[in-house]
Homo-oligomer: A and B are copies of this chain.
Amino acid sequence: MADSRKNFTLSPLGGLGEIGLNCMVLECGDSMIMIDCGIMFPEDYLFGIDIVIPRFDFVLARKDKLKGIIITHGHEDHIGALPWLLPYVDAPIYSSRFTLALIESRLREHDLDRYVDLRPVEGRQRVDFGDIAVNFFRVCHSIIEGFGLGIETPTGRIVHTGDFKIDRTPLDDTNVTDLEGFAEFSAPGVQLMLSDSTNVERDGYALTEREIKQSLSDIFAKATGRILVTLFSSHIQRMQEIIDLAETYGRKVAISGRSIQNNIDLSRNLGYLRASESIFVPMDSVSNYRDDQIVLLLTGSQGEPLSSLTRLAMSEHRQMRIKEGDLVLMSSRFIPGNTRAITKVINRLYKLGAEVLYERVSGIHASGHAHREELCQMLRTVKPKFFVPVHGEYRHLVKHSRLAVECGVAKERSLILEDGQPLRLFEDNTMRLLDRITVEHIYVDGKGVGDVGSSVLKERQLLAGEGLVIVNLVIDEKSGEIALGPEITSKGFVFEQHYAHLLEDAKCIVLDIFENIPPGEIQKLKDRIRGSLRRFFRKVLDRDPVVIPVVISL
Contact = CB atoms under 8 A, between A and B. Distances in A.
A21 to B, nearest CB: 15
A499 B451 contact: yes
Interface string A395-414: 10010000000000000000
A470 B48 CA distance: 19
Nearest to A18: B347
Contact of A394 (B47, B347, B456): B347
Nearest to A476: B554
Interface string A493-513: 111001100000000000000
Contacts of A337: 339-340
Nearest to A457: B492
What is the size category of the interface that chain A forms with chain B? 35 or more
A472 interface: yes
A489 B548 contact: yes
A318 interface: no
A438 to B, nearest CB: 19
A340 B398 CA distance: 18
A348 to B, nearest CB: 8
Nearest to A348: B394
Given A48-B464, A201-B360, A468-B468, A394 B350 contact: yes
Residue in A465, A470, A546, A552 whose Cβ sees the most chain B Cβ within 10 Å = A552
A48 B465 contact: yes
A524 interface: no
A446 B456 CA distance: 25
A141 to B, nearest CB: 23
A212 interface: no
Interface in A433-486: 445-448, 451-453, 455-457, 459-468, 470, 472, 474, 483-484
A542 interface: yes
A106 interface: no
A464 B47 contact: yes
Residue in A448, A457, A541, A546 whose Cβ sees the most chain B Cβ within 10 Å = A448
Contacts of A451: 494-495, 498-499
A447 B542 contact: yes
Nearest to A537: B446
A463 B467 contact: yes
Nearest to A356: B395
A541 B340 contact: no
A472 B553 CA distance: 13
Contacts of A339: 336-337, 339
B470 A491 contact: no
Contacts of A427: none
Contact of A474 (B343, B456, B462, B554): B554
A372 to B, nearest CB: 11
Contacts of A17: 347
Residue in A393, A467, A484, A554 whose Cβ sees the most chain B Cβ within 10 Å = A467
A540 B499 contact: no
A464 B548 CA distance: 16
Residue in A395, A457, A472, A498 whose Cβ sees the most chain B Cβ within 10 Å = A395
A543 interface: yes
Contact of A448 (B445, B455, B543, B552): B543
A339 B543 CA distance: 27
22 contacts: A17-B347, A47-B464, A48-B465, A337-B339, A339-B339, A348-B394, A350-B398, A445-B466, A445-B541, A446-B543, A447-B541, A448-B543, A451-B494, A451-B495, A451-B499, A455-B495, A456-B493, A459-B492, A460-B464, A460-B467, A463-B463, A470-B470
Interface of A: 17, 43-44, 47-48, 201, 336-337, 339-340, 343, 346-348, 350-351, 356, 360-361, 393-395, 398, 445-448, 451-453, 455-457, 459-468, 470, 472, 474, 483-484, 489, 491-495, 498-499, 540-543, 546, 548, 550, 552, 554
Task: Enumerate the 9 nearest inter-chain pairs by beta-carbon distance, A residue then B residue, closest first.
Answer: A446-B542, A464-B464, A459-B492, A460-B492, A463-B463, A347-B394, A47-B464, A446-B543, A447-B542
